[in-house]
Each structure stands twice: as C-alpha cells, then as structure tokens.
Amino acid sequence: MNFVLSLCARLVFVVTLLRGQDVLWVTDARIAKGNNINLGEALQFLREYDSEASSMCLRVTTAQWSYATNMTDFNKRRMIDEQTLKAKFDKVSWRKAVEFDWSRIPDPLARRLLRMLVTNSRASLGDDKFNEIYHLISEMKDLYAHVRACPYNNFDKLYCDLELDLDVKRIMAKSRSNAELTHIWQEWHNKVGPPMKNKFMRYVDLANQASILNGFQNAGEEMRFAYEDENFESEIAQAFHKIQPLYKELFTYVRRQLFKRYGPRVLRSNGPIPAHLLGDIWGQDWSNIEDIVIPYREYKKIDVTDEMLRQGFTPLRMFQMAEEFYTSLGLKPMPPEFWRYSMLERPNGRKVQCTVSAWDFCNKIDFRIKQCTEVNMNDLITVHHEMAHIQYYLYYADQPYLYRDGANPGFHEGIANAISLSVNNPTHLYRVGLYNNNTDIYETNINFLMSMALKKVAYAPFAYLVDQWRYQIFEYGVKTMNADWWELRLRFQGIVPPVKRTESHLDAAAKRHVIADMPYIRYFVALLLEFQVHDVMCDAAGHRGPLHTCDIYRSREAGRILMDILKSGKSRHWKDIIRVLTKGNTDTISPEPMLDYFEPLLLWLEGKNKREEEKIIGWSTKKEDTALFQPLVSKGYSVGCSLVFVINSVLLLVLNM
Ligand code: X8Z
Ligand code: ZN
C-alpha cells in the first residue's frame, strides 16, 4: 500500500475497552496532547492532513516504484530524497497534531484520527535524535543488504559473495550436508549480527526514549498498543499455547526423520533440533525438508506446474485467472491502471528488485503488483495472494487516509493467506482444470496437510517469539540479548544454535524485520486469522467436509463476507469485525479453526509418535543445550530476566489450566 503493503510499515495506536457488545474507543490520559479543543480547527487540520498525506504518499510510492523496477543510481537518489521529505512531513504533522487535546475534541472520528497521529511518530524525540534513529535504521538496513557470506570449502576466502536471497536461502533449502549447512548458517549469522550490535543498542535506547515521551513505559508497550486492545498480550499467549501441542507433535515427528538422516552426532533423539537442519536460514518455514519428512513417499506431491506448462500458461494468464477468482466471488476486477503499469514479469535490460509486492499509490486509482512471475504452481498461489492485497486497497480506497489499512496489523496478510488456503488445495485445482487425480485418497490428504503444516504449524512459535524477544529487550535491556533470543528459541521452538553463540553475536538480526524496525507479531496474528476467515467463508459457501478441502471459488456469499471486511479498512475496530464475522461467537483471534484444519494430521502424528521409542513429545533440554548460548558468568541482570521468565511461565501455566 502506501509504501509497499503499508502493513509492513504503519503503526496506529488506540486503547479500547469492551463493554457488552460494543467496542468503545477510550482515551489514554498518558498520551501526548496540547490544549486546543476547537473542533473546527481540528477538522480543518485533519482535512488538510488527509489530502497532503495522500499526495506525499503518492510521491514517495512513485519514487520507490521507479527504483524497485529500474535500479539506477539516479532513481535511488530520487527515492531517498522523497523518503526524507516524507519523514519531514510526518514530523511536521505530528507537531501540528499534538497542539490539540485530542481527548477532549467533541467528535469521535476526529478524536481517533488525532490520537493515531500523535502516537504514530518518533517526532517526540526532537530533531537531532529523530534524525539519528532514522539514519540508524537506514544504516542497519543497508548493512543487511550488503552482507555476503563465504561459500563452504572456500579455502582462499577469495569469493565471499553469497547473497541471502540468491544463495544462502538456496543452500539452506537444498544442501543435506551437515558440515555445509553449519558453515552457511554460521557465516550468515556471524556476518550480519556483530557489525550491527552497537547501532542496534543505540536504536533500542532511542526507540524507548521516543515511546516514553509518547506516554508509554517502553517501545514494546507502544508496539502492542497498535492492537487497540488491553488484553491483546494474554489473548495471543493463550492462542499460542493452544497450538503448541500440535507443534510439538509435528516437531517430534520431524526430529525423528532428521535423526534418521543425520544421526546422533548431529542431534539427540529426544532433544532440541539444531537450527541449521530445517531447510531455512531462520528455521521458520520447514517446507524445504518435505522430501525428508513426507509421510507417504509413494503418493506424489500435488504440483500442477507441468499441467500449467502443458496448457501454455503465461504470467499474464495467471493474473487473469486470479482476477477471475475474485470476480467469481462478486469482487472487483483489476482496474485498467493495474494492467497498464504492473510489473508481472522480470523485464530484460534493466536491474529490478524481484521481491513480490502489492502497491497502493494512495490516489484511489493506481494499484500495482511487482512480481517476476514464473509459470509454476507456487507463483500461481502467490499471484492470488498478492491480488488479495490489491482487493483490500480497492475496497478501502474511499476511507480517510489513516483508515486505508487492515483492521489491525495482521489483517492484510491474514486475508491474503485465507484466499491462498482455497486456491492451493486440490479441490480448487481440480475445479479450474489443473488437477485431475482423485482428491479423496487418505494418504494424499495427509501428504497435503503435512506440506501445509511445515509452512504454517512450524512457523507459529517463530512468528510468536520474535516480538516476545523485542518486548523483553525494550523492557529489561540489551545486556544478555543474544542469550535471551536463544532462550526463547529453545523454549518455544525447541531449537538450538548449531555452534556456540556469545553476546558478541546478535542472532536476531539475521531476521531483517528486527533491524528494520518492522513489528513481527502481526504474522502470528495473520496466521490465526487466515484460518478463522477461511472457516467463516467456507461456512458461508456451504462447504461440507474437512476444512482443508474447502474452496470458496464462485461463492457470492463468501465474497460478501470478504467485501465487508475489506471495505471497512481500519475504520472499525477489529474485534467488532471478528464479532460480526463469527455471528457473535467470539470477538477474539481464535486458534480453533487452525486446529480444526490440521485435525486429521494431528491424529496421524499422534499415532506415529506413540509408536516410537523415545516417548518424548517435544524436547528435553540438557545443560549442553543451554551452554551453547548462555553467558558463562551469571550477572545481576540475568537473575532479573530469569525472574521474568518464571513469572511468564507461571502466567502461561495458569492460562493453560
Ligand atoms: O515479511 C514478510 C512479507 C512482507 S510483509 C514478505 N513475511 C514474513 C517473513 O518473511 O518472515 C511474509 C511471511 C512472514
Ligand atoms: Zn502478503
């Protein structure tokens, strides 16, 4: 959206109270405010802000698009200039907004918009520190983009030119050599973290200072405030703990297959899994080890790529097919500007950024996708996913600028993923003439659910813990932040580093979102939401049978539900949206539909795991595991931090009861 998928960019904060069925926007007395309560002046300011912010967004997005689709030095300079201008505009807008006492403005819409503006900024820091944090983040992103790893067996160290997207990810996905995987894992982590450590610590300090000036106790509290819900933390903690038994069954089965492959020299049969064996540099998506863990090898994986090639598919046809999916639900076709300006294939003769993204140019007309599409099944699903973001943009285009966003930061991705759940299942592929085999074979279904679990269930603890770590360091400090990172990785994911780590490392920095100041809990929210929305739409579409076989294609009823969510944008509280969506059953993000979706796989996993020798579902931790990352001398701080862990554990125990 304004800035690629602004879901990756904007934070908006409002505290809410639930009273009976109504969601009320309530004030938080601590948030910065001035003393102007003149409604006329406030409305005038907001009108001007709406129009100027939209124009500013159009300018900066246009410059970003130009650079992303033609990476010249000139375009880069222009983009940086526009971004700097936009940062200045945000700062000036914040200054104007804090002149109002938003809490006493006698109009709820104006109150909310003003409050969003005053809490959505680091401008409270003053010019010097504002510029400093802005540059620190840019420098860290730049460092990240330029990290290059040395290949395995590169004795002369001459060609240390492995890039994350092209090389590191490929090697982690394809290599089955413990030595090579360990090397690449270590290379990447050692090259990313240490050079950023000082900058990151200063960033933590400044982010905290800004949040304190904004009326929060620390930057973590301000990040959570984006969910406009006092119970957000405990609700997602509960949801997380409901999914953990499924994760642990999957983990146990996967570890056994890895143990068979790599043996006791690499991992223990009942211990944590070393992070380099999971097919992914972050250990967050285990899809790449499907070949090692597939339940029924003799039943082929569903892949319609060959059929697409046989039928002469092109990238354009894939986009037309996705458009037809949405119009079959009664949603809008893509506007002419979309077809005219999108970049649907990798162009010849110029350097482009191939990362897939959906763009909102903030002028209610121009919406585009940038994708170096190839004709294969994976890209077909991605095309549908990206077009869901465009549908969101199209439907909320008439909302005020600040409401042109998902209902909460997880909604955009949650909705887009919910669509993918329909599109990637064999039922849909059969209906669109790409898959002709029988979809009702038990073994094929289990294989399919396993491939989904490697992506979704495996991801849950990672998506949950990234921001748990950030909240911790914002609150308790950075002294043992690398050990804290691994403590969480071990506790929630059952994962340990393949080699010894110390506080000179900063392994969380291997994840770009961490150093780029991008909140991450939204992906956990999106994960649950996608199944919740899928479930409701399937119900409306009259689906009978297991949830993983549902396809909402051609259902106007499902389309109406979708449209209703999309057109509200951020104007309604997300709890209100969920309450209406679930016909009053719940107003919270529920893990039940996800558990329901994977139930057949859970039964299969339980059966498998029960029969095996080791009997431990999950992992048992030994000293040798924690010794991989714990500092040698215990400091006062560590005690404080452990106390937090104890309190958290007790809280979670209570929640589990
Ligand atoms: O960061 C992203 C998107 C941009 S919003 C590419 N994702 C998360 C990640 O890569 O860790 C999508 C899945 C989760
Ligand atoms: Zn997306």
| β-strand pairing of 495-496 with 273-274 | parallel
| pLDDT, position 21 | 32
- Distance (angstroms) between ligand 1 centre and the Cα of 87 equals 24
| pLDDT, position 64 | 96
Lowest mean pLDDT among 88-97, 242-251, 390-399: 88-97
Which pLDDT band holds residue 2 (cuts at 50, 70, 90)?
Answer: very low
- Give the pLDDT confidence of 372-387 residue by residue, as tens digits: 999 999 999 999 999 9
Mean pLDDT of 575-595: 95
Q: At what angle do helices 411-423 and 556-568 cross, to 10 degrees?
A: 160
> For the chain, what's the residue count?
657
- Give the pLDDT confidence of 479-489 residue by residue, as tens digits: 999 999 999 99
User: Which is the closest atom of ligand 1 to the Cα of 7?
Assistant: 5
Lowest mean pLDDT among 240-249, 549-558, 604-613: 604-613
What ligand has the least distance to the C-alpha of 463?
A: 1
Residue of 411, 515, 523, 528 best suited for mutating to test ligand 1, as the one with most atoms within 8 Å of CB: 523
Per-residue pLDDT at 253 exceeds 70: yes
- Distance (angstroms) between ligand 1 centre and the Cα of 235 equals 23
The pair of three-digit structure tokens given for residue 54, joined into one six-digit string: 């939209």
Nearest CA to ligand 1 atom 3: 8
Which pLDDT band holds residue 118 (cuts at 50, 70, 90)?
Answer: confident
Mean pLDDT of 30-45: 87
Provide, rounded to the nearest whole percent, the portion of the chain with pLDDT above 90.
Answer: 81
Write out the catalytic residue numbers.
386, 513
Nearest CA to ligand 1 atom 12: 523
296 annotated as ligand-binding: no
- Distance (angstroms) between ligand 1 centre and the Cα of 469 equals 18
**Coil, strand, or helix at residue 218?**
coil
Lowest mean pLDDT among 48-57, 233-242, 599-608, 612-621: 612-621
Q: Is the CB of 8 under 6 A from ligand 1?
A: yes
Q: Is the CB of 5 under 6 A from ligand 1?
A: yes
- Distance (angstroms) between ligand 2 centre and the Cα of 446 equals 26
- Give the pLDDT confidence of 614-628 residue by residue, as tens digits: 679 999 999 999 999
- Taking the alpha carbons at both ends of the chain, their separation in whole angstroms is 42
Which pLDDT band holds residue 80 (cuts at 50, 70, 90)?
Answer: very high
385 annotated as ligand-binding: yes
Give residues whose Cβ lies within 5 Å of ion ligand 2.
413, 416
Mean pLDDT of 626-637: 72
| Cβ-Cβ contacts under 8 Å for 122 (sequence gap 6 or more) | 130, 133, 134, 206, 207, 210
522 annotated as ligand-binding: yes
| pLDDT, position 156 | 64
- Give the pLDDT confidence of 443-475 residue by residue, as tens digits: 999 999 999 999 999 999 999 999 999 999 999
| pLDDT, position 218 | 95
Spatial distance between the Cα atoms of 174 and 179, rounded to a whole number of angstroms? 13
What ligand has the least distance to the C-alpha of 386?
A: 2
| pLDDT, position 394 | 98
The pair of three-digit structure tokens given for residue 161, joined into one six-digit string: 């030119």
Q: Domain map of the chain by residue range? A: 37-118, 305-454+522-587
| pLDDT, position 359 | 98
| pLDDT, position 30 | 65
User: Which is the closest atom of ligand 1 to the Cα of 413?
Assistant: 5
- Give the pLDDT confidence of 129-142 residue by residue, as tens digits: 999 999 999 999 99
Nearest CA to ligand 1 atom 8: 523
Provide, rounded to the nearest whole percent, the portion of the chain with pLDDT above 70.
Answer: 90
151 and 217 Cβ atoms separated by less than 8 Å: no
Spatial distance between the Cα atoms of 100 and 104, rounded to a whole number of angstroms? 9
Average pLDDT, the chain: 90
Per-residue pLDDT at 425 exceeds 80: yes
Mean pLDDT of 2-15: 32
Compute and round to an integer the Cα radius of gyration of the chain. Answer: 25
Per-residue pLDDT at 6 exceeds 50: no
Q: Is the CB of 523 under 6 A from ligand 1?
A: yes
Which pLDDT band holds residue 26 (cuts at 50, 70, 90)?
Answer: very low
| pLDDT, position 28 | 60
- Distance (angstroms) between ligand 1 centre and the Cα of 111 equals 32
- Give the pLDDT confidence of 51-76 residue by residue, as tens digits: 999 999 999 999 999 999 999 999 99
Mean pLDDT of 528-537: 98
Per-residue pLDDT at 1 exceeds 70: no
Q: Is the CB of 43 under 6 A from ligand 1?
A: no
Per-residue pLDDT at 304 exceeds 50: yes
Spatial distance between the Cα atoms of 380 and 377, rounded to a whole number of angstroms? 5
- Distance (angstroms) between ligand 2 centre and the Cα of 530 equals 12
Nearest CA to ligand 1 atom 13: 523
The pair of three-digit structure tokens given for residue 453, joined into one six-digit string: 């679990």
Spatial distance between the Cα atoms of 55 and 2, rounded to a whole number of angstroms? 10
Q: Say if pTM beats, i.e. exceeds, 0.85.
A: yes
Per-residue pLDDT at 25 exceeds 50: no
Nearest CA to ligand 1 atom 5: 8
